[in-house]
């Protein structure tokens, strides 16, 4: 039986991390690769769930609000949507395990329009560890949704980044002071 904790590795894709990504965090995102792999391996060995909520879009979708805000990114079937670096290697090696899975999300929050809450509750998960990008966008919106659903939150400071340093710092403070998250 798997544990009551889950690690969510949010949007750690080429488009958000690689030098040539459409909305890259660049170096701040790239240096997360090793800490994310270590977190994934530690949680996997502990019997926890290791989940990869991954942004997916259709280019120029007139019904999606991000179309007006950002260039096309994380398009299904493209290099940009693939997981980045060693994290991709780790996922490829573990994706057949019962406790590891990747799923699509089309909004900032990993809970919006997905069955994540249902799947976590079925598995008696009460604590979520968050890693990935961007601290002040998808990680933040996932954390707010999780807080509102009653999950205990742990944000891994060495495993989150943003292309906006001010937003990153603000989000870390918000996690702690407004969402009561543990900053690890």
Annotated domain spans of the chain: 5-183
In angstroms, rounded to a whole number, what is the distance separating the alpha carbons of residues 29 and 162?
7
For the domain made up of 5-183, give the CATH fold.
Rossmann fold (3.40.50)
Tens digits of per-residue pLDDT, 34-59?
999 999 999 999 999 999 999 999 98
- Model-level pTM? 0.96
CA angle 157, 158, 163 (to 5 degrees): 85
In angstroms, rounded to a whole number, what is the distance separating the alpha carbons of residues 107 and 10?
12
Tell me which residue has tokens 């002071």.
177
Structure tokens at 119: 């799947």
Q: How many CB atoms within 10 Å of residue 127?
A: 17
pLDDT the model gives residue 71: 87
pLDDT the model gives residue 64: 87
Please indicate whether residue 49 or residue 61 has the higher confidence score (pLDDT).
49
């Amino acid at each position: 039986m798997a544990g009551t904790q889950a690690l969510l590795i949010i949007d750690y894709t080429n488009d958000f991390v690689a030098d040539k990504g459409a909305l890259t965090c660049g170096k701040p995102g790239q240096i997360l690769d090793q800490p994310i792999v270590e977190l994934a391996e530690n949680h996997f060995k502990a019997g926890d769930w290791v989940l990869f909520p991954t942004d997916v879009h259709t280019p120029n979708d007139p019904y999606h609000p991000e179309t007006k805000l950002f260039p096309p990114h994380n398009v299904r079937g493209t290099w940009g949507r693939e997981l980045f670096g060693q994290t991709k290697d780790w996922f490829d090696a573990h994706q057949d395990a019962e406790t590891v899975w990747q799923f699509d999300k089309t909004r900032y929050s990993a809970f919006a329009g997905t069955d994540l809450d249902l799947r976590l509750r079925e598995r008696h998960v009460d604590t979520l560890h968050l890693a990935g990008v961007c601290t002040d966008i998808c990680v933040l919106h996932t954390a707010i949704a999780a807080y509102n659903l009653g999950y205990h939150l742990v944000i891994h400071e060495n495993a989150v980044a943003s292309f906006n340093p001010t937003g990153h710092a603000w989000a870390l403070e918000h996690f702690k002071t407004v969402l009561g998250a543990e900053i690890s």
